[in-house]
Structure 1
Amino acid sequence: MSSERFLLLADVADTLNISASQAYALVRSGELEAIKVGGRGQWRVERTKLEAYIDRQYSQTADWVRENPLIEREDAESD
């Protein structure tokens, strides 16, 4: 990936290893900040916004893991 300021949705999808339609859904839902540019209104995501999104996902995942600890099999089998 280049060091350009703005990314295409295809670049975002590639970075996150998701489909282009999933990247579009993230943008349309407002979960991932983006802008529309040009006469055809093509979506662009600022690299820093993508990095912030990734950081938020790490934080949310860590919170979820803390709130949903794994139960050891031995504990589950003793019930």
Structure 2
Amino acid sequence: MDDATSAEQLGRFLTLGDTAELLNISTNQAYALVRSGELPAIKVGAGGQWRVERSVLESYIAAMYEHTRRMNLWNQADYTNLTEFSFGQPRDN
């Protein structure tokens, strides 16, 4: 797929190859995301070919941005240097 090919031209469902290319990862990495359940997908056809719905991929990307944003905020927080939270529970020393 070249730069002139837009996501709209790919249609509603993407192959794992298309998904991998859009995420700039290998097809094996895309397959691992699907197999783990991290990236929802369906199997279609007699051969059970994986397909990722374009809108699901866009939601996944948005969720990863949000996850990264939250992790960055956490890492910037003053209390990230603490090694343990006790939450009121007695600690064994």
- TM-score class, shorter-chain normalisation, is 0.7 to 0.9
What TM-score comes out, normalization by structure 2 length?
0.72
The residue correspondences of 1:11-26 to structure 2 (distance < 5 A) are 11-26=18-33
Alignment RMSD (CA, Å): 0.8
Query: Larger relative contact order (C-alpha < 8 A, sep ≥ 6)?
Result: 1
Query: 66, 84, 87: which is aligned to 1:59?
Result: 66
Counterpart of 1:43 in 2: which secondary structure? Answer: strand
Q: Distance in 2 between matches of 1:22 and 1:68?
A: 27
Task: List runs of 5+ in structure 2 lacking aligned partners.
Answer: 1-5, 77-93
Q: Distance in 2 between matches of 1:11 and 1:35?
A: 15
Q: Distance in 2 between matches of 1:65 and 1:20?
A: 28
Paired AA for residue 62 in structure 1: R
Q: Distance in 2 between matches of 1:53 and 1:46?
A: 11
Paired AA for residue 6 in structure 1: F
Give the length in aligned residue pairs. Answer: 69
* Higher share of residues assigned helix: 1
What TM-score comes out, normalization by structure 1 length?
0.84
Following superposition, the deviation at residue 58 of structure 1 comes to 0.2
Query: 6, 9, 13: which is aligned to 1:6?
Result: 13
